Structure 1
Amino acid sequence: MRILVTGGAGFIGSEFVRSTLGGELPGSAGTRVTVLDRLTYSGNPANLAAVADHPDYRFVHGDIADPVIVDEVTAGQDAIVHFAAETHVDRSIVSAAEFVRTNVLGTQTLLEAADRNGVGRFVHVSTDEVYGSIEHGSWTERSPVAPNMPYAAAKAGADLLALAWHRTRGLDIVVTRCTNNYGHYQYPEKIIPLFVTNLFDGRPVPLYGDGRNSRDWLHVSDHCRAIQLVLRGGRAGEVYHIGGGTELTNRELTGRLLAACGAGWDMVTRVPDRQGHDLRYSLDITKIREELGYEPRVAFEDGLAATVAWYRANRPWWEPLKSALVPS
């Protein structure tokens, strides 16, 4: 199989590429991978260093909103796995234009090229944030989207475009929506690597509001395994939820990170809550479990310990990225 992976130099995309070329995902042996990545601040060639010399790997530096490049890299592909997106909520609140350009117009450009070039399958990777906030229970794939923030709205727009292309043009589209990811190679503006690397340097960690906001945590390797299951066996035109099975408030997560780094609550600084901060996300994963046999395999305690150990051992990877972050 020949697949195009957009955003393959990012956190989740690079894990998918490394795991695919390493034959670690079910049915991935012999897959030829082309990565298309613009290498914005969160796209990092170092994330793909382990496969840089693999004979079945090709990297193309380009923008998913550029129709010329997208048409060239899409031709001859059997499938597209579309990770490329602007994802940081705080950045979207400050400036939403790049989120609309990449997440909506970029997805439109990919869909048009996939249709024109006869791509067999298009997996559009999305997020639970498109649903807004849920006080009790869990969303199913039939729940309506109701995003509250610019990032989530741009992703919801991309989701709806993808599903519309399936209905109107017959394109083989599958949409996945996941909960919060964590693991190695995650850009250190996200909560787990931000807190861990701050604590390593003896710096305080910023906790939004009262810390009651609740999220489900999914290890990146489980997420990529689920995407592979959807790529190979998901039904066209369907949405599949992917979760990790560990729901924690931000305060509970902070406590675990402090313990993992040998720090106390005196290292926590309370900061004003984010505008429009969704209180709780929760996905029902019954559908992907029953149809494709997905279950999360990485226990949160084990995954978190491994993640902290990775950041402790890989300061040369994250330290330059932290120095480039603009203080909030």
Structure 2
Amino acid sequence: MTDHRITLAEIAALAEVSPSTVSKVLNQRDDVAASTRRRVQAVLDRENYAVPGRRMPAVQDHPLVDFVTSNLDNAYGVEVLRGVVRYAESTDVEVVVSRMPDARVRRDQPAAWAERVVASGRRGMILVTSDLTAEELAEFRARSVSLVVIDPLNPLPGEHVSVGSTNWAGGRTAVDHLIEHGHRRIGYIGGPESAECNTARFNGYLGALRAAGIAVRDEYITGTSFGPEAGIAGLRHFMALEEPPTAVFAGSDSTAVGLIQEARRLGVRIPEDLSIVGYDGTSLSEQTVPRLTTVQQPLQEMGRTALRLVLSQAAGDDLGSHHIELATHLIERDSVATLTPAP
């Protein structure tokens, strides 16, 4: 006698919806009401329903790890991915690249993402600058999904693993460099206020100013993202001030690129009128005119470290530490001028 496998139509009848609605829930469509989605998912979970063809993921010759990012278009993410892929090649691991799921689906059905990862046979996940909720983290943990976050946008509970760089020291180094070149009016264009890496870089900025006896000026602090739009808006803001800064620490190379492009449009000369230090050390910093002085993060090493930690978790190894910080260093190029004191 064979076990009866419940069908999609039977799930629909139990949930009092149409079979097409059940299909939409299974395929993460966003045109299903939240209350209906929850009701259908409850029946799916209770009946232990699995999509035909995905009931028992085949044993894979090479473990699969998901590399998840909200932005596939920035140089930062590409550099991290290079590190992941190169380490994967040496360990017979396959890497799958995907985007963060739709925010509305994540909010209405936090378990669905974790279920999909498990059903697809993923060994673990690497998430880049992601804002995971406590509920989502709990769903992954409940299913024993090995997970590492690189530069999380929100604080993670202590049991979860993250990888970053020495952001405070990097911010301090950037501003110390500007001070050493005679600058005392120094602006900061930061990223998302909730991002831990932004908070650390900003505190490094503050620490350098205070150590040099330079007053912190609120009008010199701006920024809401790590994208070029923050650099454009930041420069416009600074140039509208009665006494604009002579130098700027940009929280990312992408932000610095936006600033340099806007400076060209406004007729502001870099570095003669305004010096700038970026952050990340991506290929963008070598392509600007002038070439960008920047604090380099070891992005490829961060990717390699993240994958190593995912595999160690999956093997049940003792990680020792749940947060890894890798050292940054300054790359001096052409975007900082020495400020000559007024006679």
Q: TM-score range by the shorter chain?
A: 0.3 to 0.5
State the TM-score, normalizing by the size of structure 2: 0.34
State the TM-score, normalizing by the size of structure 1: 0.35
